[in-house]
Amino acid sequence: LAAMTIANIVRTSLGPLGLDKMLVDDIGVNEI
């Protein structure tokens, strides 16, 4: 849940690029 909050902040700060980064980070966390 904390990761989602941080991801939302990053996405808002970086815009579309932030969204792509969030998706990659989310997949990485799920794999781990």
Q: In 1-31, which positions are buried (b, 16+ CB within 10 angstroms) versus exposed (e)?
A: eeeeeebeeebeeeeeebeeebeeeeeeeee
Enumerate the domain spans of the chain: 2-31
Tokens 């990659």 map to which residue?
24
Which tokens go with 17? 């690029």
pLDDT tens string 1-32 = 777 777 776 666 555 655 555 555 565 555 44
DSSP 2: H
pTM: 0.31
- Number of neighbouring beta carbons within 10 Å of residue 32: 5
Phi, psi for 15 (deg, rounded to 5)? 75, -145
